[in-house]
Amino acid sequence: MARLTPTQELDQLALLIARHPEGIDSESLLRQLGGALQLRTLQRRLAGLVEQGLISVQGQARAVRYFPAEQGIVSTVAAALADDAEAYVPISAEGADIKAYVRQPRHLRRPVGYRIEFLEQYHPNHTAYLPEGLREQLHSLGRSPAEQTPAGTFARDILSRLLIDLSWASSQLEGNTYSRLDTARLIEFGQVAEGKDALETQMILNHKQAIEFLVHSPEPATVSPDTIVSLHALLSDGLLPEPAMCGRIRRRAVEIGGSVYAPVALPQRLEELFGIVVSMAAEIDDPFEQAFFLMVHLPYLQPFEDVNKRTSRLAANISFIRHNLCPLSFIDVPQQAYIDAMLGVYELNRIELLRDVFVWAYERSCQQYVAVQQNLVPPDILRLRYRKALGEVIAAMVRGGATITEANVLALLPSNVQPEDRAHFTQLVLKELAGLHAGNAVRFGLRPLELAAWHETQSEFKK
Domain extents in the chain: 6-73, 107-375, 381-462
- Whether residue 334 is predicted with pLDDT greater than 70 in this model: the reply is yes
**What pLDDT is recorded for position 82?**
39
More confident residue, 220 or 25: 25
Q: Mean per-residue pLDDT for 34-48?
A: 76
Q: Mean per-residue pLDDT for 304-323?
A: 96
Q: Does this chain's domain 6-73 share its CATH topology with 107-375?
A: no
- Whether residue 455 is predicted with pLDDT greater than 80 in this model: the reply is yes
Beta-strand (E) ranges in 298-338? none
- Whether residue 377 is predicted with pLDDT greater than 90 in this model: the reply is no
Q: Mean per-residue pLDDT for 41-63?
A: 78
Lowest mean pLDDT among 13-22, 72-81, 358-367: 72-81
pLDDT digits (tens, 9 = 90+) for 402-412: 999 999 999 99
Q: Name 430's Cβ contacts closer than 8 Å, sequence gap at least 6.
A: 404, 406, 409
Are residues 404 and 436 in contact, defined by beta-carbon separation less than 8 angstroms?
no
**What pLDDT is recorded for position 8?**
61
Give me the half-sphere count of Cα atoms (radius 13 Å) on the Cβ side of residue 67: 12
Using pLDDT thresholds of 50, 70 and 90, give the confidence band for residue 149. Answer: confident
Residue 383 to residue 392: CA distance in whole angstroms: 13
The most distant pair of C-alpha atoms in the chain lies apart, rounded to whole Å, by 111
- Whether residue 386 is predicted with pLDDT greater than 60 in this model: the reply is yes
- Whether residue 341 is predicted with pLDDT greater than 80 in this model: the reply is yes
Q: Mean per-residue pLDDT for 39-43?
A: 80
Beta-bridged to residue 65, according to DSSP, are 58
Highest mean pLDDT among 4-8, 121-125, 436-440: 121-125
**Model confidence, pTM:** 0.66
Of residues 291, 308, 282, 283, the one with CA closest to residue 359:
291
pLDDT digits (tens, 9 = 90+) for 232-256: 999 999 999 999 999 999 999 999 9
Of residues 327, 319, 288, the one with CA closest to residue 158:
327
Specify the pairing of strand 261-262 against strand 112-113. Answer: parallel
Q: Kind and range of the H or E element at 261?
A: strand 261-262
| Sign of the alpha-carbon torsion through 447, 450, 454, 455 | positive
pLDDT digits (tens, 9 = 90+) for 410-420: 999 998 999 98
Look up residue 421 and give its DSSP letter: G
Using pLDDT thresholds of 50, 70 and 90, give the confidence band for residue 65. Answer: confident
**What pLDDT is recorded for position 156?**
84
Residue 310 to residue 206: CA distance in whole angstroms: 10
- What is the Cα 42 distance to its own chain's centre? 44
pLDDT digits (tens, 9 = 90+) for 159-185: 889 999 999 999 999 999 999 999 999
Lowest mean pLDDT among 91-105, 276-290, 376-390: 376-390
CATH 1.20.1250.20 holds for 6-73:
no
**Mean pLDDT, the chain, whole residue set:** 87
| Sign of the alpha-carbon torsion through 50, 54, 58, 61 | negative
Lowest mean pLDDT among 29-38, 121-130, 159-168, 445-454: 29-38
| Sign of the alpha-carbon torsion through 112, 115, 117, 123 | positive
Lowest mean pLDDT among 65-69, 376-380, 450-454: 376-380
- What is the Cα 191 distance to its own chain's centre? 27
The CATH number of the domain covering residues in 107-375? 1.10.3290.10
Q: Give the percent of the chain with pLDDT over 90.
A: 59
| Sign of the alpha-carbon torsion through 85, 352, 336, 293 | negative
- Whether residue 437 is predicted with pLDDT greater than 90 in this model: the reply is no
